[in-house]
């Protein structure tokens, strides 16, 4: 297929190297795809062949540390906020009960409450930001794996294929593909075949570019075939005359 394309003067649109930041190229499919861990073994998310662990980002682990760390930070924020505020209120009440005519309760309890609110709010905000960054990293890694799998599979994937490739449930895979189809309609499209099976057409190059190239290639190949047939007929006619 490569030779006719070269002869016809067409240049196949090259997919951007999605996932090049994810480490070494897979020696089997030559794609820079993330890996997926099954047990302690690592596999390429594009072709399914064995990979060396830790050479690329993993769809199982990408963003998990940030998500877990963000969750723990938010828990700490709520503890500081609730515990500090409660302690400050307790000190305020006790000291005001002891010194009802003074401001000792407010002088001690007020700053404690203010510090607890400030520190708790910072922890909650930091935890939310950290968790969001982890979710984004996980989504980007899954997206990269989906595009690489689709390129390896002639630009079509199903939710079951994606689920098996990146190590998530079929429902999660379908949700990922549906979200991509909504966010990137030029690159991901849901389709249904004649048997009613749902699949997705996926291309990092853009589906319109792929379709345009395929149409140009088809027309050029048909023209080349017609020219070859015409030349063959003319050659036969010349041989008949001689």
Q: Domain for residue 237, yes or no?
A: no
79, part of any domain: yes
CA distance 122 to 175: 33
Comparison of pLDDT for 207 and 93, the residue scoring more: 93
Residue 92: inside a domain: yes
| Residue 189 placed within a domain | yes
Whether 211 maps to a domain, the answer reads no
CA gap 92, 71 in Å, rounded: 31
Mean pLDDT, the chain, rounded, equals 81
Between 240 and 7, where is the model more confident?
240
Query: Which pLDDT score is estimated for 12?
Result: 43
Give tens-digit pLDDT for 87-130.
999 999 998 888 888 888 889 999 999 999 999 999 999 999 99
Residue 20 CA to residue 25 CA, distance in Å, equals 8
Tell me what pLDDT residue 190 has: 86
Q: State both tokens at 125.
A: 């905000």
Taking residues 181-201, report their average pLDDT.
Answer: 86
Asked whether the beta carbons of 138 and 65 are under 8 A apart, the reply is: no
Q: Is residue 231 in some structural domain?
A: no
Cβ–Cβ under 8 Å, residues 134 and 67:
yes
> CA–CA separation, 149 vs 133, rounded Å?
24
Domains in the chain, number: 1
Is pLDDT of 81 > 70? yes
At 70 the pLDDT is 96
CB 200, CB 177: distance < 8 Å? yes
Q: Which domain holds residue 180?
A: 17-204
C-alpha 131/C-alpha 143 separation (Å) is 18
- What confidence score (pLDDT) does residue 233 get? 52
**Which of the four pLDDT bands, split at 50, 70 and 90, describes residue 166?**
very high
Strands across the sheet containing 50-51: 35-38, 41-44, 50-51
Tell me whether residue 57 is in a domain: yes
Residue 209 has pLDDT above 70, yes or no: no
Dig out the tokens for 199 from the structure.
């699949």
Structural domain contains residue 159? yes
156-157: strand order across its sheet: 156-157, 198-202, 188-192
Structure tokens that stand for 77 in this block: 């924020």
- Mean pLDDT for 25-50 is 91
What does the DSSP assignment read for 87-105?
Answer: HHHHHHHHHHHHSTTSSHH
Report which of residues 73 and 188 the model is more confident about.
73
């Amino acid at each position: 297929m490569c030779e006719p394309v070269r002869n016809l003067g067409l240049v196949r649109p090259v997919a951007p190297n999605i996932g090049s930041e994810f480490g070494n190229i897979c020696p089997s499919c030559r794609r820079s795809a993330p890996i997926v861990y099954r047990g302690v073994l690592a596999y390429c998310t594009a072709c399914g062949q064995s990979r060396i662990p830790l050479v690329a980002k993993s769809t199982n682990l990408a963003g998990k540390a940030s998500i877990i760390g963000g969750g723990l930070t938010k828990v700490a924020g709520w503890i500081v906020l609730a515990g500090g505020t409660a302690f400050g209120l307790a000190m305020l009440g006790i000291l005001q009960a002891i010194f009802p005519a003074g401001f000792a309760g407010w002088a001690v309890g007020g700053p404690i409450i203010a510090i607890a609110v400030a520190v708790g709010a910072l922890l909650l905000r930091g935890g939310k930001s950290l968790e969001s960054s982890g979710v984004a990293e996980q989504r980007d890694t899954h997206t990269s794996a989906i595009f690489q799998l689709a390129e390896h599979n002639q630009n079509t994937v199903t939710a079951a294929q994606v689920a098996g490739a990146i190590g998530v449930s079929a429902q999660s895979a379908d949700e990922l593909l549906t979200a991509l189809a909504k966010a990137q309609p030029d690159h991901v499209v849901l389709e249904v075949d004649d048997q009613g099976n749902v699949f997705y057409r996926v291309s990092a190059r853009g589906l319109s570019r792929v379709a345009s190239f395929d149409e140009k290639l088809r027309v050029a190949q048909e023209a080349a075939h017609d020219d070859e047939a015409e030349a063959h007929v003319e050659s036969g006619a010349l041989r008949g005359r001689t």
